Amino acid sequence: MSENRSGAVGKPPTMADVARHLGISRQLVSIVMRDAPGASEETRARVREAARELGFAPHTGARTLRQTRSWTLGVLFVPAHAAEHEIVEAIYPLAAKHGYDVVLSALTDTRGLEASVEELVGHRCAALLLIGAPLEEGLMARLVDRVLVPVVSVGSGARNGDYDVIRSAGDEGMRAAVEHLVSLGHEEIAFVTLDSMPDGPLRRRGYESAVRDLGREVDLVTVPGDYRDDDYFEEAGAAAGLALLERPRLPTAVLVPNDSAAIGLLLTLARNGVRVPQDVSLVGFDDNPMSRLSAIDLTTSRQDPEMLARAAVDVAVRRIEAEPGTVRRTGELVVPTTFIARSSSAEPRRG
Amino acid sequence: MSENRSGAVGKPPTMADVARHLGISRQLVSIVMRDAPGASEETRARVREAARELGFAPHTGARTLRQTRSWTLGVLFVPAHAAEHEIVEAIYPLAAKHGYDVVLSALTDTRGLEASVEELVGHRCAALLLIGAPLEEGLMARLVDRVLVPVVSVGSGARNGDYDVIRSAGDEGMRAAVEHLVSLGHEEIAFVTLDSMPDGPLRRRGYESAVRDLGREVDLVTVPGDYRDDDYFEEAGAAAGLALLERPRLPTAVLVPNDSAAIGLLLTLARNGVRVPQDVSLVGFDDNPMSRLSAIDLTTSRQDPEMLARAAVDVAVRRIEAEPGTVRRTGELVVPTTFIARSSSAEPRRG
DNA sequence: TTGTACGCGTTATCAC
DNA sequence: GTGATAACGCGTACAA
């Protein structure tokens, strides 16, 4: 066993240390670490090796301090939102492709949007990406106003704001779901309203217009309360399930604008002896990892996290690197969803 | 609508700008921003107000560069591990209480442990906290050796390594579960083996020793494959469910060392007409948010994320602030779990 | 409370 | 490829 060295002190090595170690100049080390032109391949190899050996990594703070422009993207996300982690993960390689680093900031119960933004501003991020942030219009407005860098919001946000919005085509996802159910022969398609969710109203409207276009009745199941986090979505779905069970007669299909809620509903129905899809067809939205489980196998519309991340990074980089003169209007970019039919939806029961 | 200013450039303000704006000295602003003594309450208020107004936040890089010691904790986590987000969230306020900032680094498929650690080292973190990192012994050893700061691993890791380990008392949680089931009258208690999970073997041993102590038979349900991520845990549970259903006779109770897997198993049983707890009692481990859903209501042992986070931060801070001479041996800290009886466990079926 | 001075580790730009 | 030098924004020490 190697000697115990936890708690080891000693200052971390600097570029000068690496240079001294190799008997070369400090700026040559800098060139290598930045992948800048001006060093031979052999030198690069030697420098990298020495850096590994000495445990050297360039001081990020010193680098951002000195650099003329920032090469850091600030990403604000909500750890409690399980469905969004894939977006966050996808950002890293995309940012790297453009030459940007990423700094994460978590939005939690004890840490408001303002504290998070201040942290990212402190890191002198070139742009801020908000992933699924619970946006309050007023708060956002003040915030964007205080921040001197472009802001891109993924999954929520007002149109025509001072920031760009990337969102999934929730309305079209709902339309696809309705068309799918109608093609299976469903007449009674209920919809669980989750209007407090970002994009909730949009998805509801997609359902409503699709149902009307196809000559079916709008049937909204409302659940009380504010549902903003994943934990609560499941509860909201469970509550909707109980509401449905109290009806004299179940609809033949239920559409839920969020997979977590759909799963909560599914479990509640199952616990009460209602089989899916034999008794009721169920369709969600998101394509949560859980939805793919064989025991759930939920028909849903997939939000492609990779595409959302790519759109967000692209927009941010374009804003950052835009000529100061060419101030384009902020916009809303809609990313299509993919409808995935699984076994939670089938032909309606008879009677 | 306010004028469009996205893509706005202009350098971010500095302390000097704030000072100039107020007609005071730069270091007075510094004093206020650091909460250091030497400014009147009135001045503090004015400075804070001006900082808000100008959108000023101290340049983190410049600050860490100048400071003699680092006041940053580097947190390495896996966004895909849903169960761990509460630990990450809890770290922020705890670190703040000790005066530390937090920098997050995500471990993803496209981003190895080494890249993440390098990022944190670049930020000159005073210590590294690994949350549920999938640790390979060799990799960890090399890593800890290269990093000059203390490393604390939560939830996994080898004893006697060069880093501190914080983990839950998984063995005792399993014992509590067995005792609970036995007290309900269960004779046949099966255990789903998830040995590839960090702490998996520990929990299995807890089950085995408890079952033997109480005079019951060890009954292990093994599922093939490597299960390290949440997504796979659910599948592993589902696979275990199928394995159980193939038996001529079900045990009266099943113990699963992970809630996600337990839920996968629960769903599989439910889909196949096996009722929980009427036909089979089910006990998990973790107290996932999902386990609390009324439709699932899983009996489990709660890993307290707050306690784990507190232990990790405390150990890290102690290591950081230890006198260079007093090099204490790295250790393993065990945090107790809380057994929570819910409705997924009940008296055994007859026959 | 202010002013002055210095240095943290790096990038950037010279001339060599 | 080297070497010299300036500058980034801030913390810290000291004298006024």
Q: Please give the interface size between A and B, counted as residue pairs whose CB atoms are below 8 Å apart.
A: 217
Residue B165: pLDDT above 70?
A: yes
**What span, in angstroms and rounded, lies between the C-alpha atoms of B264 and B73?**
36
Position A214 scores a pLDDT of: 96
Among B93, B108, B283, B95, which Cα is nearest to B182's?
B283
B255 touches B174 (CB < 8 A): yes
What SS3 state is found at B136? coil
Contact A60 B123 (CB under 8 A): yes
Please indicate if any CB of chain A lies within 8 Å of the CB of B68.
Answer: no
Q: Which of A60, A110, A162 is nearest residue B122 as measured by Cβ atoms?
A: A60
B329 touches A4 (CB < 8 A): yes
CB proximity list for B54: less than 8 A, separation 6 or greater:
B13, B17, B18, B21
- Residue with more model confidence, B142 or B317: B317
Q: Which of B62, B109, B327 is nearest residue A7 as measured by Cβ atoms?
A: B327
- Scored b (16 or more CB within 10 A) or e, A306-326 reads ebbbbbbbebbbbbbeeeeee
Residue A248 has a CB neighbour count (10 Å cut-off) of 4
Position B194 scores a pLDDT of: 93
Give the closest residue to C9 (Cα–C1′).
A62
Position B118 scores a pLDDT of: 93
Residue B208: pLDDT above 60?
A: yes
- CA–C1' A17–C6 (A): 22
Amino acid at A223: V
Please indicate if any CB of chain A lies within 8 Å of the CB of B60.
Answer: yes
- CA–C1' B39–C2 (A): 12
Q: Which of B118, B121, B295 is nearest residue A271 as measured by Cβ atoms?
A: B295
**Which secondary-structure segment (H or E) carries A21?**
helix A15-22
Q: List Cα–Cα distances, B172 to A135, B156, B336, in angstroms.
A: 43, 16, 8
- CA–C1' A38–D6 (A): 21
The total number of residues shown for chain B amounts to 351
**What span, in angstroms and rounded, lies between the C-alpha atoms of B323 and A9?**
9
Position A234 scores a pLDDT of: 87
- Residue with more model confidence, B229 or A62: A62
Average pLDDT over residues B232-253: 94
Average pLDDT over residues B67-78: 93
What are the start-end ranges of the H helices in chain B?
Answer: 15-22, 26-33, 41-54, 60-66, 85-97, 113-122, 137-146, 170-184, 200-213, 230-245, 259-271, 305-321
Residues of chain B numbered 276-315 and touching chain A (CB < 8 Å): 289-290, 292-296
Residues of chain A with Cβ-Cβ distance to B80 below 8 Å are: 85, 89
A150 touches A128 (CB < 8 A): yes
Task: Indicate the pairing of strand A219-222 with strand A253-255.
Answer: unpaired
A99 touches A305 (CB < 8 A): no
**What span, in angstroms and rounded, lies between the C-alpha atoms of A27 and A19?**
8
To the nearest whole number, what is the mean pLDDT of chain B? 89
Q: List Cα–Cα distances, A329 to A55, A128, A148, A154, A333, in angstroms.
A: 46, 17, 16, 17, 12
Residues of chain B with Cβ-Cβ distance to A106 below 8 Å are: 88-89, 92, 104
CA B262 vs. chain centroid, Å, equals: 19
CA B108 vs. chain centroid, Å, equals: 15
**What span, in angstroms and rounded, lies between the C-alpha atoms of B335 and B227?**
24
Residue B1: pLDDT above 60?
A: no
Position B229 scores a pLDDT of: 62
Q: Is the CB of B32 less than 7 A from some atom of nucleic acid strand C?
A: no
Six token digits for residue A329: 């209007």
pTM of the prediction?
Answer: 0.89
Q: List Cα–Cα distances, A224 to A221, A233, A240, in angstroms.
A: 10, 12, 9
Task: Indicate the pairing of strand B300-302 with strand B338-340.
Answer: antiparallel
Position A327 scores a pLDDT of: 62
Amino acid at A14: T
Q: Identify which of A140-149, B49-58, B175-184, B224-233 has the greatest average pLDDT.
A: B175-184
Position B73 scores a pLDDT of: 97
**What span, in angstroms and rounded, lies between the C-alpha atoms of A281 and A274?**
11
Residue B133: pLDDT above 90?
A: no
Residue B53 has a CB neighbour count (10 Å cut-off) of 12
Q: What is the DSSP string of A209-274?
A: HHHHHTTPPPEEEE--S---SHHHHHHHHHHHHHHHHTSSS--SEEE-SSHHHHHHHHHHHHHTT-
Q: What is the mean pLDDT for each group of 10 consecutive residues in chain A (351 residues)?
A: 45 90 91 89 91 92 92 95 91 96 95 92 95 82 86 81 89 97 97 89 96 96 75 87 96 96 92 92 91 87 94 95 70 93 95 69
| pLDDT tens digits for range B258-310 | 999 999 999 899 889 899 999 999 999 999 878 887 778 999 999 899 999 99
Position B288 scores a pLDDT of: 84
Q: Is the CB of A30 less than 7 A from some atom of nucleic acid strand C?
A: yes
Residue B2: pLDDT above 50?
A: no
Q: Is the CB of B61 less than 7 A from some atom of nucleic acid strand C?
A: no
Position B169 scores a pLDDT of: 94
